[in-house]
Structure 1
């Protein structure tokens, strides 16, 4: 069956669906907004003059240039697919929908050919590609002619950052629409609408306030996840009410039972929660740090992966402000490898807490980046003669004085003026201690050392 025929069949079925078929649809599908005005939580990108609103107008209705391509970027459950469907339906364009997860190259070619045939017949098409970050660059390049010639109104959706999602040539032709994660108020509206709507639960179920709150908290800002949880919990509450001969009341226990059986950690969650853990430790929020580490462990995350994140954070974000934090993090990683779960939880959280409460400084990281930038910029001076090896590779030359002119600081009370950096960058300074933890003591010492090094003779005779 051609894509055009499939579209026509779908449209016909939508208009003539039986009530039974509608009820059998998942609650999240039944509660899809009917127009852009019904979309909750995305007011900023759907204001009257926004590009999406202009795209949703009938062809030729706008006096301004209508965007021909858009990338909808945001977390799961924020309405990307729904908005694409509404743009097509409100503008009376045909809709061709593909998912980059399971569509083949031949299917993409067929979709583009179908859109071209429809264009010749005077019919406009919205080509929607979900999860477009799964397409290779070659597959994305196939879309360029259709987008450039306006054979289709192109809409793509992704949860990945735009710069790493689309090939530059395609990205430059798209407007970027950032859909934000739904907040508590938005999710409350969505749940309440689903409970009351004839397309939803039609008021047949009542929610305990705590149950409603738990659905929201367990959704992670994902409206589809919240509606899926609501539907499953409502089914459990309805069956219990029938058995007991009482009114259907959805309780927190109903929600907990359902949440325990739902997938707990997707690939996106893996990276997002790891990021949340690191940023919480960096921000010295010990409670949030404990929460994210524990949530990752409960989701089945490898504790050694978490331990590695803690080590990196200790080095990059605590650094010399409290060097012991890195030792604690490394020790925790060793403990995790030795004892495994569930006993590894305690030493791992000990390291998380130690890094979170430690004073913070990224001075070591910034020093490394500054030195790297100088080297990448061509500052590759030769090793000063007095620092060169006299006995072959690896020689540390500890003698007081050699024929190269090297002076051993130990022979001068621990310090002697001489040049250590290459010529041309001898005055470079990379490490700048922060006023935090141990670095408050390091900073005055370093300032005194640099002043002594730069005063008077700075090279060995």
Structure 2
């Protein structure tokens, strides 16, 4: 007799047995209200693997007693979609669950629009990717998007206890969880992975002298045979982790920054991609508070190209921790942003005559560069004159921050320009 996997045997029978997702399943949660009212709208369930997307779709459908059809975007085509819609036209409100809906092409997603809009089918799509990027905007506008979260430690521990106490196979065995750190670590918040690893570990364990099956971290680690790194170089996780890295640098936390760096390296990220983002961070977040940061980041890119990986990780770590420990200023970043906004608002303001290039005799006769004063003719290398176009005189764009280097710049600007730019 073939026995279903533990993760399948423990699949919840009602929505109230689902572990986690309390923001949706609490007493006043939106899914709880759907079940009570038996009203299910079209929706996209967005979250990492193993957090209950398929289970929730099935249980929501069962709560309404409506026809329930499933398609996998990996194998289904436009023809399959149209056949489901044709069948559903005889039973309005059929719930259509599409797993991995982000894999549907635009034409496949378009084939759903009319049926969803008219209510012929209620769409429940599941995706691990950001719907904003991967799902047709017209389809999103006709659906609610609900975010599902990785399971928390207490959720995973509850699943382990439930498996040992209620599973028809495991409750007959004398199982003792001596350590659970690696079960939790390797699961990565994925219930399916946790239960599969638990089942494999139990099968691999040898009963001790009193017939007890002991689950230890060492056993789990041997069974897992792989690192628990969830990282998709082209997916949402890719952007989330590089965002965490840059924000940790911006927040001056080298410990968090190097952790997120390690996540990217272990996930197989292109080191040149990381180095490029470090160069941007050096200019945007450190800026003139420590101009050397840009040199370090740029040299990091060159070093990566010279030596490659795995040694390149050391260079990336040096640059990352240097940027994180540097004083921060986004004054240069803010200045160009403000300047571009002004340009878009004011259009092509004419260049003042004295700043124009008098490259021909005619232009000289027209007064180009006539009133221009060459700063190097002054012993101090500075002569006050107008460099802004008419209408923007005295408009401050570069605002030094309160760090030692930019405060030095500020003193010099105050000395040169006085009150002109309100420095």
Q: Do both share a fold (TM > 0.5)? A: yes
Q: Contact conserved, 2:394 with 2:420, CA < 8 A, in 1? A: no
Root-mean-square deviation (CA, aligned residues, Å) is 2.8
Residue by residue, what CA displacement relative to the aligned partner does 1:91-147 show, whole Å, maximum 9, x if unpaired?
Answer: 22222112323321111111211222333xxxx521112222333333322222222
- Cα distance in 1 for residues equivalent to 2:79 and 2:17: 36
Is 2:217 aligned against 1:252?
yes
Residue by residue, what CA displacement relative to the aligned partner does 1:165-212 show, whole Å, maximum 9, x if unpaired?
Answer: 433332222222222232222222223222333156335432222xx1
Corresponding residue of 1:7: none
Picking from 175, 181, 185, the partner of 1:205 is 175
Is 2:17 aligned against 1:38?
yes
Picking from 393, 410, 414, the partner of 1:426 is 393
- Cα distance in 1 for residues equivalent to 2:66 and 2:213: 42
- The runs of 5 or more residues in structure 1 that have no matched partner are 1-19, 456-461
Q: Contact conserved, 2:353 with 2:369, CA < 8 A, in 1? A: no
Task: Please list, as runs of the form range in 1=range in 2, the aligned pairs for 1:442-453 lying within 5 A after superposition.
Answer: 442-451=409-418, 453=420
Q: CA offset at residue 351 of structure 1?
A: 0.7
- Cα distance in 1 for residues equivalent to 2:224 and 2:288: 43
Corresponding residue of 1:153: 122
Q: Contact conserved, 2:40 with 2:60, CA < 8 A, in 1? A: no
- Cα distance in 2 for residues equivalent to 1:158 and 1:415: 61
> Cα distance 1:446–1:133, how it changes in 2: closer, same or farther (>3 A)?
farther
- The runs of 5 or more residues in structure 2 that have no matched partner are none
Q: CA offset at residue 448 of structure 1?
A: 4.6
Any idea what SS the aligned residue of 2:357 has?
coil
Is 2:200 aligned against 1:221?
no
Q: Taking structure 1 as the reference length, what is the TM-score of the superposition?
A: 0.81
Picking from 236, 242, 245, the partner of 1:277 is 245
Q: Contact conserved, 1:45 with 1:52, CA < 8 A, in 2? A: yes
Q: Contact conserved, 2:231 with 2:264, CA < 8 A, in 1? A: no
Q: Contact conserved, 1:360 with 1:437, CA < 8 A, in 2? A: no
Task: Please list, as runs of the form range in 1=range in 2, the aligned pairs for 1:113-262 lying within 5 A after superposition.
Answer: 113-119=86-92, 124-199=93-168, 201-202=170-171, 204-209=174-179, 212-237=180-205, 240-241=206-207, 247-261=212-226
Corresponding residue of 2:310: 342
Any idea what SS the aligned residue of 1:327 has?
helix
- Cα distance in 1 for residues equivalent to 2:411 and 2:291: 18
Q: How many residues of Structure 1 are paired with residues of Structure 2 in the alignment?
A: 412
Q: Taking structure 2 as the reference length, what is the TM-score of the superposition?
A: 0.87
Q: Contact conserved, 2:78 with 2:107, CA < 8 A, in 1? A: no
Corresponding residue of 2:254: 286
- Cα distance in 1 for residues equivalent to 2:338 and 2:412: 21
Corresponding residue of 1:10: none
- Cα distance in 2 for residues equivalent to 1:102 and 1:372: 47
Q: Contact conserved, 1:277 with 1:288, CA < 8 A, in 2? A: yes
- Cα distance in 2 for residues equivalent to 1:127 and 1:295: 36
> Cα distance 1:171–1:433, how it changes in 2: closer, same or farther (>3 A)?
same
Q: Contact conserved, 2:286 with 2:323, CA < 8 A, in 1? A: yes
Q: Contact conserved, 2:78 with 2:111, CA < 8 A, in 1? A: no
Any idea what SS the aligned residue of 2:146 has?
strand
Q: CA offset at residue 378 of structure 1?
A: 4.4
Corresponding residue of 2:406: 439
Residue by residue, what CA displacement relative to the aligned partner does 1:415-441 show, whole Å, maximum 9, x if unpaired?
Answer: 222222222223332222222352333
- Cα distance in 2 for residues equivalent to 1:245 and 1:304: 56
- Cα distance in 1 for residues equivalent to 2:270 and 2:210: 46
> Cα distance 1:257–1:433, how it changes in 2: closer, same or farther (>3 A)?
farther
Corresponding residue of 2:371: 405
- Cα distance in 2 for residues equivalent to 1:204 and 1:51: 40
Corresponding residue of 2:78: 105
Q: CA offset at residue 287 of structure 1?
A: 1.6
- Cα distance in 2 for residues equivalent to 1:69 and 1:421: 55
